[in-house]
Amino acid sequence: MARAGLDTHTLVLAAAELADEYGIEEVTLAALAAKLDVRSPSLYNHINGLAGLRTLMAVYGLEQLYEVISEATEGLSGEAAVHAMSQAYIGFTRAHPGLYQTTLKAPEQGDTALEAAGGKILSLIIQVISAFGLEEEGNLHAVRGLRSILHGFSTLEHQGGFGMPLDLNVTLTRLINTYIAGVRCMGSDADSVK
């Protein structure tokens, strides 16, 4: 029988807290049960094992990331929107490093909840990038590029890879300026690298 007050959402929130504090690899059913002061078997009333929990965390993480970047870009377009989205994305990874890790894996075929959550973010980023006048494929390449930049930046920062005493936010701004300049070039010579 399920414990009163314990539900899937509560489990996901507690697991996200564990992930952010200790890292995603430390999120086990035993650790989650200890955090919630329940026995591990009672978790199975709400989740489908550790793999199921991680999928739920990924959906939750993507939903939270979407909310953050959607709010940041509201009413903005073009360069201002790209900068706001990038800063919000990095802000999310700083605040939720473990939860962020769950969002990185591409969904498996048929995982509709994860596909939908990822699709909302993709649509939002494409909407922002579309201000630069690229064709559909160019938009997707630009999205991949931005994701690579932001993930690389957040990973290096989180793992202590930026040791010089320079303001990381200035670095991020300059990096996004460079990205935007590159995206602007994509519109004029998209096929020149083939």
* Per-residue model confidence as pLDDT tens digits over 159-187: 999 999 999 999 999 999 999 999 999 87
Interatomic CA distance for residues 131 and 7, integer angstroms: 42
Structure tokens at 147: 């994701």
Three-state helix/strand/coil letters over 29-59: HHHHHHHHCCCHHHHHHCCCHHHHHHHHHHH
Instruction: Kindly report the pTM of this predicted structure.
Output: 0.89
pLDDT above 50 for 63: yes
Using the predicted structure, report yes or no on whether residue 96 has a pLDDT greater than 90: yes
H or E segment at 133? Answer: none
- State the pLDDT at residue 189: 56
Mean pLDDT, residues 144-149 taken together: 96
Within 8 A by CB and 6+ apart from 154, the residues are: 89, 90, 93, 94, 97, 100
Question: What is the pLDDT, as a whole number, of residue 188?
Answer: 63
